[in-house]
Structure 1
Amino acid sequence: MSHKIPVSVLVVIHTPDLHVLVMERADHPGFWQSVTGSCDTLDEPLADTARREALEETGIDAAQHHLIDWGHHIEYEIYPRWRHRYAPGVTRNTEHWFGLLVSGKVSVRMSPREHVQAEWLPYQEAAERCFSRSNAEAILQLPERLAAYHARQAALTKDRA
């Protein structure tokens, strides 16, 4: 088995009315989260990682929706229970945040080896459900990040006119 690369993405999948998809981990019942995953190679573009992980974990094709690079990353200590997946001595991971704006509560096809159930929840409830503080923080930032995205889209539209 090859080791995981300590560079990953967090993808907050959400609707225009701020409902967020959260899923319960198969390997740790009670641990709810957004889509997460590591880069497959050191040179894999982060947006490609986000698209791949969304498709693998939910069956949602990001190419059919709006993948938004939030331009934000955090570094955190890898939970001891998951360090065996990384090279010896690796204890920290850099996580890059993305939003995936879908048209509504689209159907989800979970990977059963990763998640056992999924729910669409209002963003505050989704944040409360997450076991990871940084995942909860990302979800709580959703209203301002979505407003910024819409402002950028409006400015682009105005510039084209």
Structure 2
Amino acid sequence: MSNTFKIPESVLVVIYSPDLEILLLERADKPGFWQSVTGSKDSLDEVLEFTAQREVMEETGIDTQAHALSNWHLANVYEIYPTWRHRYAPGVTHNKEYVFGLCVPRDTSVTLAPREHLRYQWLPLQEAADLCFSASNAEAILQLRQRHKTSGEH
């Protein structure tokens, strides 16, 4: 695969506080589109945990090494929005997204990548899910309540 095309494997990292407030980012290329941290693997052999760590650092400035990044062992396959399909090799129409969670204190400093995101906000779980443009992102956020309850994840 050419390095000019995105790899159709990505991570979604739901960043949340111990009291289950969710950090959402507004896309710079699509104002009004809110999401959790997301990004594609840089190479076919890049380890997913590294992709998650890299994307969180690039998009928020948060160092996952200082917090508990957890692999939720959940993957979603979805059709790539036509708006973004040109970024992938011809004929690639679907992406596989691996879900991670990252619990950080609510007062954690956030530094956005200005070319990627315009603003960020912390929202209660249901409000965050309702605001996400991506159904898989909203679903992951809603799963957090149950994950938090059953595993004490944070």
Same fold? TM cut 0.5: yes
Partners of 2:12 and 2:96 lie apart in 1 by 10
Query: What's the Cα RMSD here?
Result: 1.3
1:18 and 2:20 aligned: yes
CA shift in 2, pair 1:137/1:130, >3 Å: same
Partners of 2:63 and 2:151 lie apart in 1 by 20
- The within-5 A match list for 1:114-153 is 114-150=116-152
Q: Say if 1:70 and 1:145, in contact at 8 Å, map to a contact too.
A: no
Partners of 1:19 and 1:32 lie apart in 2 by 15
Structure richer in helix, relative to its length: 1
Measure how far apart 1:126 and its partner are.
0.6
Partners of 1:7 and 1:149 lie apart in 2 by 27
**Partner SS, residue 65 of structure 2:** helix
* Residue in 2 that maps onto 1:46: 48
Partners of 2:55 and 2:151 lie apart in 1 by 22
- The within-5 A match list for 1:1-161 is 2-150=4-152
| Structure with the greater alpha carbon radius of gyration | 1
Normalising by structure 2, we get a TM-score of: 0.95
Partner letter of residue 89 of structure 1? G
Measure how far apart 1:84 and its partner are.
0.6
Partners of 1:105 and 1:80 lie apart in 2 by 37
- Mark the runs of 5 or more structure 1 residues left unpaired by the alignment: 154-161
Measure how far apart 1:105 and its partner are.
3.3
Partner letter of residue 109 of structure 2? S
Partners of 2:149 and 2:51 lie apart in 1 by 24
Partner letter of residue 128 of structure 1? D
Normalising by structure 1, we get a TM-score of: 0.91
Partners of 1:54 and 1:149 lie apart in 2 by 23
Partner letter of residue 42 of structure 1? L
Q: Say if 1:105 and 1:120, in contact at 8 Å, map to a contact too.
A: no
**Partner SS, residue 12 of structure 2:** strand
Q: Say if 1:10 and 1:98, in contact at 8 Å, map to a contact too.
A: yes
